[in-house]
């Protein structure tokens, strides 16, 4: 209890002793985590949007007349990455066509017999799966023709990969920046107290006891910076979404409150972890050198 | 806790020989003055005992334990058995007198009530209780040294190492500090004090070990504790 009280007291002493530096660190960490959170939101929204479009992406496989529709459906089911297969008989296809033509449906009666082939309407999990599925369908003996939005599927797939890479790139830059900012802040605090550290080690304080206030300082600054960034970001995002949804109703933005709350928690957790890692490296090596005998 | 130093040589970078084949033993409860000119090796010898310096050659046994074989993590626990007093006091300037004395007990995880009691008792003993809420810069040199001694002995160490503890003090205050160290020694703590002050050595008689160029050239009054030490 006594040790815990000392650690807390010393941690706050470190923060307030160099309050200018602490404030600067808080702003820097907030900016970095804001960038990290914004990139995560961009990535989540892109995936959300792509998910919606992908959900509507279908592949139509037209079978040769007289083919066994149910057998073909079962065969395609084994291909994997498939969300749904709807088997459409020629009669059902004709009914759909009539419904779409409306008043002009009488034209079909001029043809005499039903010219429409049996078909499979297939929905896949991801846009990236469309091309490979189409190739497999074309190779089937009972399939006469395959129709799908190949260009759109490929573009969606490329966009998804690009957004994923962009997010990872921003993540790496943000993590490195956060670690460097926290590392330097704690390192400066260590140097400003190097004489005290030497005295503490000489009179029998353990390395952990000496290091902990610095580590807690890093964790606290990381946590507060990330929390400030998360609050600003999520508040700003909900305001921005309200405006954007009114002006661009055709775009589907992410509004999942639980997911956004999780993002906030992840950011704060990342702030604590990065604060811990950066300050640990900043202080431990210094202490190890300080206790090394001459 | 007895200390045995056998054939210790320390050569620093640049071939600077600080200690040159030193044999030295101190029995539990002894008071030893280390005297000699600047650069004679007094401070290095104290730092060898506190394991801030590792000998280039030779063996250091403290309480039967070989310091060269000490594990990295055991160093803090070893140093809690030593009290160290420096010429320049080295108090933590942002802490009060009471906190300076208490923090080593806090580092050891001593319960808060015991920390208060023991710190208070030690500050009473060194005559600094009335100054407990002041910070080191608000104290005189003699008062700071008293606080430093209180910090060194608050965890009841077996050995007290004092490196020129009166170096920055006036003669009267120096007298008071040596009297304080003598009373600490009387309660059973081994005291090894490096000093230049011949007056103090003559006024308060204890064993005297003189160093010159890293060698022991005189060891007076060795008999009572260390005569049985086989070096």
Mark yes or no for CB contact B76/A207 under 8 Å.
yes
CATH of A58-148, one of 3.30.70.3040, 3.40.190.10, 2.30.110.10, 3.40.50.2300: 3.30.70.3040
Compare all CA atoms of chain A with the CA of B75 and give the residue at the minimum distance.
A204
DSSP string, A177-237: HHHHHHHHHHHHHHHHTHHHHHHHHHTT--HHHHHHHHHHHHHHHHHHHHHHHHHHHHHHH
Q: Left if phi > 0, otherwise alpha if psi is -120 to 50, otherwise beta: which for B214? A: left
Q: How many CB atoms lie within 10 A of CB B23?
A: 15
B110: nearest CA partner in chain A: A2
In this complex, the residue of B53, B76, B105 whose CB is nearest that of residue A206 is B76
Please report where in the chains the tokens 């399939």 appear, as a residue: A143
Q: Do B107 and A13 touch (CB under 8 A)?
A: no
pLDDT in tens, B210-224: 888 888 888 876 544
Cβ <8 Å between A203 and B104: yes
Cα distance between residue B213 and residue B44, in whole Å = 11
| A-chain residues near B115 (CB < 8 A) | 2
B163: nearest Cα among B1, B54, B42: B42
Can you give the pTM of this predicted structure? 0.66
When pLDDT is cut at 50, 70 and 90, the band that residue B204 belongs to is: confident
Residue B41 pLDDT exceeds 60 = yes
Where residue B15 falls (left for φ over 0; alpha for ψ -120 to 50; beta otherwise) is: left
HSE of B166, CA atoms in CB hemisphere, 13 A = 22
Cross-chain CB nearest to A205 (options B50, B84, B104): B104
Above 60 in pLDDT, residue B227? Answer: no
Distance from CA of A186 to the nearest CA of B (A): 18
Per the rule left: phi > 0, alpha: psi between -120 and 50, beta: everything else, B30 is beta
Task: Answer for the pair A201, A293: CB distance below 8 angstroms, yes or no.
Answer: no
Q: What are phi and psi of B112, to 5 degrees?
A: -55, -40
Q: Tell me the ipTM for this assembly.
A: 0.71
Nearest CA in chain B to A197: B92
pLDDT digit string, tens, across residues A148-204: 766 666 777 777 788 888 888 888 887 888 788 888 877 877 777 777 788 778 777
DSSP A293: -
Q: Is A166 exposed, middle or buried (0-12, 13-18, 19+ CB in 10 A)?
A: middle
CATH 3.30.70.3040 maps onto chain A at 58-148
The two three-digit tokens of residue A189, written as one number: 């605090």
- B150-160, pLDDT tens digit by residue? 888 888 888 98
Question: What tokens does B19 get?
Answer: 């200690």
């Amino acid at each position: 209890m006594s040790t815990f009280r000392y650690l807390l007291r010393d941690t706050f002493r470190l923060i307030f002793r160099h309050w200018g530096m602490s404030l600067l660190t808080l702003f820097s960490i907030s900016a970095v985590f804001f960038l990290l959170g914004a990139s995560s939101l961009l990535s989540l929204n892109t995936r959300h949007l792509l998910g919606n479009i992908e959900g509507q992406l279908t592949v139509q496989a037209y079978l040769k007349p007289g083919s066994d529709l149910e057998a073909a459906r079962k065969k395609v089911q084994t291909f994997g990455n498939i969300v749904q297969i709807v088997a459409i008989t020629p009669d059902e296809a004709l009914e759909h066509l009539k419904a779409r033509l409306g008043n002009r449906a009488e034209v079909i009666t001029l043809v005499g017999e039903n010219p429409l082939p049996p078909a499979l309407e297939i929905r896949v999990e991801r846009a990236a799966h469309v091309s490979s599925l189409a190739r497999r369908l074309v190779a089937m003996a009972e399939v006469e023709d395959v129709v799908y939005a190949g260009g759109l599927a490929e573009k969606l797939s490329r966009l998804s990969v690009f957004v994923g890479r962009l997010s990872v790139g921003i993540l790496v830059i943000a993590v490195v920046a956060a670690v460097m900012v926290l590392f330097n802040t704690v390192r400066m605090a260590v140097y400003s107290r190097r004489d005290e550290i030497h005295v503490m080690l000489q009179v029998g304080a353990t390395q952990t006891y000496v290091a902990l206030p610095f580590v807690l300082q890093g964790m606290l600054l990381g946590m507060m910076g990330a929390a400030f960034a998360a609050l600003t970001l999520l508040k700003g995002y909900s305001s921005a979404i309200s405006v954007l949804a009114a002006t661009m109703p055709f775009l589907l933005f992410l509004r999942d409150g639980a997911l956004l709350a999780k993002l906030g928690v992840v950011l704060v957790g990342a702030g604590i972890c990065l604060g811990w890692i950066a300050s640990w490296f900043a202080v431990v090596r210094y202490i190890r050198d300080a206790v090394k005998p001459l | 806790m007895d200390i045995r130093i056998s054939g210790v040589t320390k050569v620093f970078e640049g071939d600077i020989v600080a200690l040159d084949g030193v044999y030295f033993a101190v029995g539990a409860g002894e008071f030893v003055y280390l005297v000699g000119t600047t650069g004679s090796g007094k401070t290095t010898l104290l730092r060898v005992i506190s394991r801030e310096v590792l000998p280039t050659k030779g063996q250091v046994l403290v309480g039967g334990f070989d310091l060269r074989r000490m594990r990295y993590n055991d160093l803090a626990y070893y140093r809690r058995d030593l009290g160290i007093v420096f010429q320049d006091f080295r108090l933590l300037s942002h802490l009060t007198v009471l906190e300076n004395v208490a923090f080593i007990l806090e580092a050891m995880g001593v319960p808060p009530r015991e920390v208060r009691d023991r710190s208070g008792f030690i500050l009473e003993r060194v005559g600094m209780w009335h100054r407990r809420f002041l910070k080191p810069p608000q104290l005189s040199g003699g008062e700071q040294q008293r606080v430093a001694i209180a910090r060194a002995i608050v965890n009841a160490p077996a050995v007290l190492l004092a490196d020129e503890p009166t170096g920055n003090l006036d003669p009267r205050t120096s007298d008071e500090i040596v009297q304080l160290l003598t009373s600490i020694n009387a309660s059973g703590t081994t005291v090894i004090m490096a000093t230049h002050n011949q007056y103090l050595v003559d006024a308060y008689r204890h064993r005297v070990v003189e160093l010159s160029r890293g060698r022991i050239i005189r060891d007076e009054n060795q008999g009572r504790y260390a005569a049985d030490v086989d070096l």
